[in-house]
Amino acid sequence: MKKIITASAEETNKLGKDFAKKNLGGKIICLEGDLGAGKTTFAQGLLAGLGARGPYTSPTFLIMKKYQNVYHLDAYRVDAESVLDLGWEEIITDENNIIIVEWPERIRKIIPTKAIWIKFKWIEKNKRSISFNN
Ligand code: ADP
Ligand code: MG
Protein backbone atom coordinates (compact mmCIF):
# COMPACT_ATOMS: atom_id res chain seq x y z
CA MET A 1 0.00 0.00 0.00
CA LYS A 2 1.50 3.30 -1.10
CA LYS A 3 0.23 6.47 0.54
CA ILE A 4 0.92 9.98 -0.71
CA ILE A 5 0.00 13.33 0.83
CA THR A 6 -0.58 16.13 -1.65
CA ALA A 7 -0.48 19.77 -0.58
CA SER A 8 -2.48 21.28 -3.46
CA ALA A 9 -4.98 20.45 -6.19
CA GLU A 10 -2.13 20.85 -8.71
CA GLU A 11 -0.14 18.12 -6.94
CA THR A 12 -3.13 15.77 -7.03
CA ASN A 13 -3.66 16.52 -10.72
CA LYS A 14 0.02 15.79 -11.37
CA LEU A 15 -0.23 12.51 -9.46
CA GLY A 16 -3.08 11.52 -11.79
CA LYS A 17 -1.03 12.51 -14.82
CA ASP A 18 1.91 10.40 -13.62
CA PHE A 19 -0.36 7.46 -12.85
CA ALA A 20 -1.27 7.42 -16.56
CA LYS A 21 2.28 6.21 -17.34
CA LYS A 22 1.36 2.78 -15.97
CA ASN A 23 0.04 0.19 -18.35
CA LEU A 24 -3.66 0.71 -17.77
CA GLY A 25 -5.18 -1.00 -20.81
CA GLY A 26 -8.29 -2.94 -19.83
CA LYS A 27 -8.09 -1.58 -16.28
CA ILE A 28 -10.80 -0.13 -14.07
CA ILE A 29 -9.48 2.59 -11.78
CA CYS A 30 -11.74 3.14 -8.78
CA LEU A 31 -11.48 6.51 -7.03
CA GLU A 32 -12.98 6.21 -3.57
CA GLY A 33 -13.54 8.98 -1.02
CA ASP A 34 -15.89 11.67 0.24
CA LEU A 35 -17.07 14.75 -1.60
CA GLY A 36 -14.20 17.20 -2.07
CA ALA A 37 -11.53 14.58 -1.38
CA GLY A 38 -9.92 15.12 -4.79
CA LYS A 39 -11.27 12.30 -6.98
CA THR A 40 -12.22 14.52 -9.92
CA THR A 41 -8.98 16.52 -9.63
CA PHE A 42 -7.01 13.27 -9.90
CA ALA A 43 -9.26 11.98 -12.70
CA GLN A 44 -8.65 15.11 -14.76
CA GLY A 45 -4.87 14.69 -14.45
CA LEU A 46 -5.24 11.04 -15.38
CA LEU A 47 -7.37 11.91 -18.42
CA ALA A 48 -4.76 14.44 -19.54
CA GLY A 49 -1.95 11.92 -19.00
CA LEU A 50 -3.82 9.34 -21.05
CA GLY A 51 -4.14 11.82 -23.89
CA ALA A 52 -7.91 12.07 -23.70
CA ARG A 53 -9.10 15.14 -25.57
CA GLY A 54 -10.77 17.69 -23.28
CA PRO A 55 -12.66 19.57 -22.05
CA TYR A 56 -12.91 17.33 -18.99
CA THR A 57 -16.37 18.25 -17.91
CA SER A 58 -17.45 16.63 -14.70
CA PRO A 59 -19.59 13.59 -15.43
CA THR A 60 -21.73 14.34 -12.38
CA PHE A 61 -24.68 15.20 -14.60
CA LEU A 62 -23.77 12.77 -17.35
CA ILE A 63 -23.16 9.53 -15.41
CA MET A 64 -20.50 8.50 -17.88
CA LYS A 65 -18.37 10.46 -20.30
CA LYS A 66 -16.42 8.75 -23.06
CA TYR A 67 -13.09 10.06 -24.38
CA GLN A 68 -12.07 7.76 -27.23
CA ASN A 69 -11.06 4.59 -25.31
CA VAL A 70 -11.23 6.21 -21.88
CA TYR A 71 -14.43 6.29 -19.82
CA HIS A 72 -15.08 8.48 -16.78
CA LEU A 73 -18.01 7.30 -14.70
CA ASP A 74 -19.52 9.08 -11.71
CA ALA A 75 -21.68 6.61 -9.83
CA TYR A 76 -22.81 9.06 -7.13
CA ARG A 77 -26.43 9.17 -8.23
CA VAL A 78 -26.81 5.88 -10.03
CA ASP A 79 -27.27 2.25 -9.19
CA ALA A 80 -25.50 -0.78 -10.59
CA GLU A 81 -28.42 -1.69 -12.87
CA SER A 82 -28.40 1.64 -14.69
CA VAL A 83 -24.65 1.36 -15.22
CA LEU A 84 -25.14 -2.14 -16.66
CA ASP A 85 -27.65 -0.56 -19.06
CA LEU A 86 -24.89 1.68 -20.43
CA GLY A 87 -23.19 -1.38 -21.89
CA TRP A 88 -20.88 -1.84 -18.88
CA GLU A 89 -19.98 -5.50 -19.45
CA GLU A 90 -18.90 -4.83 -23.03
CA ILE A 91 -16.93 -1.72 -22.05
CA ILE A 92 -14.99 -3.45 -19.26
CA THR A 93 -14.12 -6.55 -21.24
CA ASP A 94 -12.47 -4.57 -24.05
CA GLU A 95 -8.74 -4.57 -23.17
CA ASN A 96 -8.29 -1.30 -25.08
CA ASN A 97 -10.55 0.54 -22.71
CA ILE A 98 -9.57 2.33 -19.52
CA ILE A 99 -12.38 3.06 -17.07
CA ILE A 100 -12.18 5.65 -14.29
CA VAL A 101 -14.91 5.34 -11.66
CA GLU A 102 -15.83 7.87 -8.97
CA TRP A 103 -18.02 6.54 -6.10
CA PRO A 104 -17.23 2.92 -7.03
CA GLU A 105 -18.57 1.76 -3.65
CA ARG A 106 -22.08 2.59 -4.92
CA ILE A 107 -21.77 0.00 -7.67
CA ARG A 108 -19.43 -2.39 -5.91
CA LYS A 109 -21.29 -5.48 -7.10
CA ILE A 110 -20.40 -4.80 -10.75
CA ILE A 111 -16.75 -3.84 -10.14
CA PRO A 112 -14.48 -6.77 -11.03
CA THR A 113 -11.99 -7.90 -8.40
CA LYS A 114 -9.07 -7.00 -10.69
CA ALA A 115 -9.90 -3.29 -10.37
CA ILE A 116 -7.34 -0.82 -9.02
CA TRP A 117 -8.59 1.06 -5.94
CA ILE A 118 -7.31 4.50 -4.94
CA LYS A 119 -8.58 6.01 -1.72
CA PHE A 120 -8.83 9.78 -1.21
CA LYS A 121 -9.07 11.43 2.19
CA TRP A 122 -9.51 15.06 3.17
CA ILE A 123 -6.88 16.02 5.76
CA GLU A 124 -7.08 19.80 5.83
CA LYS A 125 -7.97 22.64 3.45
CA ASN A 126 -5.28 21.92 0.86
CA LYS A 127 -4.05 18.53 2.02
CA ARG A 128 -5.32 15.18 0.85
CA SER A 129 -4.09 11.67 1.49
CA ILE A 130 -4.17 9.32 -1.49
CA SER A 131 -3.58 5.59 -0.99
CA PHE A 132 -3.04 2.98 -3.65
CA ASN A 133 -3.91 -0.69 -3.19
CA ASN A 134 -1.09 -1.95 -5.43
P1 ADP B 1 -14.24 14.99 -5.48
O2 ADP B 1 -14.33 14.63 -6.93
O3 ADP B 1 -13.58 13.93 -4.64
O4 ADP B 1 -15.57 15.40 -4.91
P5 ADP B 1 -12.85 17.34 -6.39
O6 ADP B 1 -11.56 16.95 -7.02
O7 ADP B 1 -13.99 17.68 -7.30
O8 ADP B 1 -13.29 16.24 -5.32
O9 ADP B 1 -12.64 18.60 -5.46
C10 ADP B 1 -11.55 18.77 -4.62
C11 ADP B 1 -11.53 20.22 -4.19
O12 ADP B 1 -10.53 20.43 -3.21
C13 ADP B 1 -11.21 21.15 -5.36
O14 ADP B 1 -11.92 22.36 -5.18
C15 ADP B 1 -9.70 21.38 -5.20
O16 ADP B 1 -9.29 22.63 -5.70
C17 ADP B 1 -9.56 21.36 -3.67
N18 ADP B 1 -8.25 20.90 -3.20
C19 ADP B 1 -7.49 21.54 -2.30
N20 ADP B 1 -6.37 20.86 -2.03
C21 ADP B 1 -6.42 19.74 -2.78
C22 ADP B 1 -5.54 18.63 -2.92
N23 ADP B 1 -4.39 18.51 -2.22
N24 ADP B 1 -5.91 17.67 -3.78
C25 ADP B 1 -7.07 17.75 -4.47
N26 ADP B 1 -7.94 18.77 -4.37
C27 ADP B 1 -7.63 19.76 -3.53
MG1 MG C 1 -16.00 14.22 -8.21
List pLDDT tens digits, range 95-127: 999 999 999 999 999 999 999 999 999 999 999
CA distance 69 to 77: 23
The ranges of the chain with pLDDT < 50 are none
Mean pLDDT, rounded, of the chain: 94
Q: How far is the CA of 94 from the centre of ligand 1 (A)?
A: 31
Q: Which residue has the CA at smallest separation from atom 19 of ligand 1?
A: 126
Cβ of 16 less than 6 Å from ligand 1: no
What is the pLDDT at residue 1?
83
What is the pLDDT at residue 56?
85
Q: What stretch of H or E contains 96?
A: none
CA distance 75 to 24: 21
- Check: CB of residue 131 under 8 Å from CB of residue 119: yes
What is the pLDDT at residue 55?
85
- Residue 42 Cα: closest atom of ligand 1: 6
Cβ of 12 less than 6 Å from ligand 1: yes
pTM of the model: 0.95
Cβ of 128 less than 6 Å from ligand 1: yes
Q: How far is the CA of 14 from the centre of ligand 1 (A)?
A: 13
